[in-house]
Amino acid sequence: MTGEEAVASFRNPPGAIRWTTVQPPAPRGGSEVKVEFRALGPLEAVVGDRLVDLGAPKQRALLALLVSQLGQPVAVDLMREALWTGPPPPSAVTSLQAHVANLRRVLEPHRAPRTPATVLRTHPPGYLLDSRVADVDVRWFGDRAKAGWQAWDRGDPHRALAEFEAGLALWRGPAYAEMANSPCVAPEVARLEELRLSVVEGRCAALVAVGAYEVAVAELKAFVHAHPLREHGYELLSLALYRTGRQAEALAVLREIRTRLGEELGIDPRPALQQLERDILNQDPALGERLIPAGPRSGGT
C-alpha cells in the first residue's frame, strides 16, 4: 500500500477532529456479552442491538463511574462522595439503591424477577459492572493503540497507520462528553485524552514514515495549533516540512516551539528537537530516512 492509498482512508484529522460513528469490533466474551458501553463520546449503552435510555443525570453519572471502573468494585462511600457536592444528604444511600435498581432494569430487561443481576452486580462494599458480560469502547481503543505501536516497533508503518486510524475512528466526541467535568470520571477523561493525543501523534509519525508528507503537514499544523506545547507534534511537523523541501519553514517551526517553551514554561526544547534543528541546518542526508518515534505511549489502558 502506498502512502497515498493509506491516506485515502483517513477521516479524523488531528487537532480538529471530525467525530464519526463506526461499527465497533467484536467485544470480548462473544455471545456472553450482554451490554456494550460507549464512553468515547456521550455515554451510551447498547443492549442486544438497541441503544437504551440511561435515565436522569445523576443516574447517568453513577453509570459513568461504574463504566470507568469496569470489572472493578466501586464502594458505596465513593459513589456518595462522587455524586454529591459537599456532604451527601441523608437519603443518599436510598437514592443510590434506586438508581442501581433502575439501571439493572435497563441493562437486563429480560431478567426474571428476584433472580441475581449479572451485569450490574452487588459486590461488597458496593457494586461492579461485570466485565465478563459487559464491554466498553475504551478497551477497544486501547487494543488498537497497542497494536499500532507494536506494528511501529516491528517496522510496519502502514499497519501502524491502519491501527491508529481504527482506534481514532471509535471516538464520537470528548470522552464521557456530558460528564467530562464531573469528579466521577474527570481522572479517566484526562487519561483518555492524553492517550488519544499520543495516538494522533503516532498516526502522524506513520504518515511521515509512509511518505504522505503533504497530508502530514496539513494535519500537524492543525495539531500544534490546538496543542501548542506538545513538542512531538512540532518535531514531526518540522521533519515533514523538510522532506517537502521547505527547510526554512522547518526551522521556523523549531524556533516557534523553542520560544514558546521558554516564554511559557521557562525550559528548553528536549534534546531530540535540538538535534533535529542542527541536522536541518546542516542538511544532514540522514534526514531523508529518519523515523521519529511514534510518540509517548502515555495513558495506556
pLDDT tens over the chain, length 301 residues: 333 333 333 333 333 333 444 444 444 444 467 899 999 999 999 998 899 999 999 999 999 999 999 999 999 999 998 888 888 899 999 999 999 999 999 999 999 988 999 999 999 999 999 999 999 999 999 999 999 999 999 999 999 999 999 999 999 999 999 887 888 888 999 999 999 999 999 999 999 999 999 999 999 999 999 999 999 999 999 999 999 999 999 999 999 999 999 999 999 999 999 999 999 999 998 888 766 666 656 655 4
30-136: which CATH number, 2.60.40.2140, 3.40.50.2000, 1.10.579.10, 1.10.10.10?
A: 1.10.10.10
Strand partners, 136: 37
3-20+140-288 topology per CATH: 1.25.40
pTM (two decimals):
0.83
Cα-to-chain-centroid distance, residue 103: 26
Q: Which helix (H) or strand (E) holds 3?
A: helix 3-8
Please name the amino acid found at residue 220.
Answer: L
Q: Which of 238, 221, 224 is nearest to 275 (CA)?
A: 238
Specify the pLDDT at position 182: 82
Give the H/E segment covering residue 59: helix 57-68
Q: What pLDDT was estimated at residue 144? A: 97
Decide: 33 and 134 in contact? Cβ < 8 Å. yes
The pLDDT value given to residue 26 = 46
CA distance readout (Å), 74 to 40, 79, 99, 187: 21, 7, 14, 15
**Torsion angle (degrees, nearest 10) of CA 126, 129, 130, 133:** 150
| Pairing status of strand 120-123 against strand 74-75 | unpaired
Tell me the domain boundaries of the chain. Answer: 3-20+140-288, 30-136
Whether the CA torsion 120, 23, 27, 180 is positive or negative: it is negative
